[in-house]
Structure 1
């Protein structure tokens, strides 16, 4: 599945190695190490425009959020055709005013993810070509052949082989000419630095989210809480995998270089985006208002939970009140559920009515496009040609050819008996 992305990444790695080793005469082992860092540098440099476009689009979406929310609120309960068309027109004008394109935020992410996966897979397969370190003559990783993979496996940095890892069995480490202690002493500084860079990137992301969080979206708030939890979990996971898992030295160095690049890129690009697209006072006021509403709703939920626990605790002290307390709690729960279901039903009915009108509008637009398409000269000629073919088929089927009679048979000449 990742082969289409492994080929270009492996090609870049191979070109860098040929340049460093064959042109500049750098030692083969050093050339592979430097090529690995140059690979990360090349791929990440290629992705800078996409990263910039994604950050810029996200910032524009944040800046236009108050105006878009006001527009949605204005047309929230209108389901007639004219209002829906007017809402679509105003929404389009608003996006054009801010220069916001949804595809500009989606396409960069769709490009970056497979490229990152291809980069990681190439380095992982180079460091671990199979269950062991044996490479068969037919082994290939993208454009890299078996000889180049063996040369990469023989490469060392500070006397430590690139395919070695801390938890590797001692007999294999001995074949590579190193020990677990040497690998650990070399890897730990880079591992700690990679963890620090990763944590810094996640903290910067959390800070940006808190500044521009969409408080109306429960998903956005949930994702931010999840990211906060992952900030505490990811460093422990990385350290555990590096110390106990089969993660080669090459991958640790890749983590170090890649996360360092991400941190520097974040510290440069996001301040530039914020300076180019500053948030207005209207947004700050809008964000505070939405935050207060969201936190008030959360406080009400917590108050209900604590009130329920308090009354249950009172029932434990006064057991004779347990039936009455349980009945009250069930009635309150049923009332809340009925109110929530009523709100959901109203919202669902409203959305269904809007969707019905939108479907009719979309159907009309599709028919108009088909009519315009059919008016094109080429399409009309093809349609006329197909009509003539159908007419000829009908004529042939209605007038079948007459069967030949005895008199119509050709003279075959004298028979063999004559």
Structure 2
């Protein structure tokens, strides 16, 4: 995402940072350097507090989707082979009733993602632009970062924590570090504890996410299983990636402090929010039974695939010992592979055909519903228009016309 696209989000973020600095420095009298440092944490506090309702809505929507999964799957199985319009209409009606009964709203899960990403990208852009000016720490008189002017940016660049400047980073050139009055060793010594804490917080967040996904994973969905594997891989790689970025990339002290505070908030929020949510929306035995069945089915399919693979390897090993059997073994393996492909292709084609018929019926019903809604809206507008046109004009009162007095009446 280009800086131009992020510009609208830089202004509110920089405005919050500036308001915190004004409050701390100008109102409370805290010295300039300390005020900027605390403002970073105040910025995290403000943004994350703003996002709490959206995080809650997203987590609640996901939990509700998990809780009603057994009934959704039962409906899907019941109407799996029925593609006539009446059956599709009945399924749509029952799905709608199910979502209304659970209070499920798809939009509640979409809003957080639409808000969080630009907010966090805007926040990162503000800190990067302040902590890393384009011309080796030189700030022109007309430089601005959102609502922050050149003097405020210079004050931020002069701010230090434990005598380590906020714009410094470990891989910064030595001459630039010398201009800032510090060394790479000093920056490393200061950054390392916060970096370790941020990595621990991130690892805890990912471990909790893996455990939660493991308990509610939709084993019927290949995409869900794939995403779960990706999260497990990331949980192993991310700590090394974070250290690599901090030690080799231009990651200023200000970003590390933000990183520390933001990951701490996420960990605390996760450890508080999800237990509350699990108590409010418990999963009944039907879900656990469906989860167990799906897991066993997926594992059985994985075992079968491994068995086929090992059987092929075994027969190839036999061919290595008995070379005269290689053509026969090769023909058998190719025939079995072609048979499996043909069977899977036939099953897939059958599913696609059923789904296409169902989707066509669903689309037709949705168009009819939309047209009916538009017609009701038009009829309502027409009724209002007719009501206004048929209403008699108001009689003028004595005060509306000229006051002729008693002599005029005579």
One fold, TM greater than 0.5?
yes
Distance 1:289 1:128, change over 3 A: same
Q: 1:112 aligns with which of 116, 138, 146?
A: 116
**Residue aligned with 2:171, SS:** coil
User: What's the counterpart of residue 29 of structure 2?
Assistant: 25
- Point out the more displaced range, 192-201 or 106-115: 106-115
CA separation in 1, counterparts of 2:169 and 2:383?
A: 65
Is structure 2 residue 8 aligned with structure 1 residue 4?
yes
In our comparison, the structure showing a higher alpha carbon Rg is 1
CA separation in 1, counterparts of 2:364 and 2:194?
A: 60
TM-score between the two structures when normalised by the length of structure 2: 0.91
TM-score between the two structures when normalised by the length of structure 1: 0.89
CA separation in 2, counterparts of 1:52 and 1:377?
A: 39
Shift of 1:198: 0.5
User: What's the counterpart of residue 346 of structure 1?
Assistant: 350
- List structure 1 runs of 4+ shifted beyond 6 angstroms: 379-382
Distance 1:11 1:336, change over 3 A: same
CA separation in 2, counterparts of 1:86 and 1:366?
A: 17
Cα deviation, 1:133-175, whole Å, max 9, x if unaligned, reads: 1111222111111111111011000000000001111100000
Shift of 1:90: 0.5
Extract unaligned runs of 5+ from structure 2: 387-410
Cα deviation, 1:279-331, whole Å, max 9, x if unaligned, reads: 11111111101110111011111111111111112111211111001000000
CA separation in 2, counterparts of 1:29 and 1:4?
A: 27
Q: 2:68 aligns with which of 32, 40, 64?
A: 64
User: What's the counterpart of residue 409 of structure 1?
Assistant: none
User: What's the counterpart of residue 157 of structure 1?
Assistant: 161
Q: How does 1:130-145 map to 2 (within 5 A)?
A: 130-145=134-149
**Alpha-carbon contact 1:40-1:254 (below 8 Å) kept:** yes
CA separation in 1, counterparts of 2:381 and 2:167?
A: 64
**Alpha-carbon contact 1:127-1:250 (below 8 Å) kept:** yes
Is structure 2 residue 181 aligned with structure 1 residue 177?
yes
Number of corresponding residues? 382
Shift of 1:99: 1.1
User: What's the counterpart of residue 319 of structure 2?
Assistant: 315
CA separation in 1, counterparts of 2:383 and 2:139?
A: 58
Shift of 1:360: 2.2
User: What's the counterpart of residue 20 of structure 2?
Assistant: 16
Q: 2:301 aligns with which of 297, 300, 305?
A: 297
Shift of 1:371: 2.6
User: What's the counterpart of residue 364 of structure 1?
Assistant: 368
User: What's the counterpart of residue 285 of structure 1?
Assistant: 289
CA separation in 2, counterparts of 1:374 and 1:90?
A: 28
CA separation in 2, counterparts of 1:378 and 1:176?
A: 73
User: What's the counterpart of residue 86 of structure 1?
Assistant: 90
Is structure 2 residue 229 aligned with structure 1 residue 217?
no
CA separation in 1, counterparts of 2:165 and 2:326?
A: 70
Distance 1:252 1:62, change over 3 A: same
User: What's the counterpart of residue 260 of structure 1?
Assistant: 264
CA separation in 2, counterparts of 1:137 and 1:376?
A: 60
CA separation in 2, counterparts of 1:39 and 1:370?
A: 46
Distance 1:328 1:47, change over 3 A: same
Distance 1:378 1:15, change over 3 A: farther
**Alpha-carbon contact 1:29-1:151 (below 8 Å) kept:** yes
- Point out the more displaced range, 86-95 or 105-114: 105-114
Is structure 2 residue 46 aligned with structure 1 residue 42?
yes
User: What's the counterpart of residue 273 of structure 2?
Assistant: 269
Distance 1:340 1:131, change over 3 A: farther
What is the root-mean-square deviation of aligned Cα atoms in Å? Answer: 1.4
CA separation in 2, counterparts of 1:195 and 1:11?
A: 29
Q: 2:194 aligns with which of 172, 190, 196?
A: 190
Cα deviation, 1:202-233, whole Å, max 9, x if unaligned, reads: 00100000010010011111111111001111
Shift of 1:129: 2.2
CA separation in 2, counterparts of 1:24 and 1:378?
A: 61
Shift of 1:44: 0.6
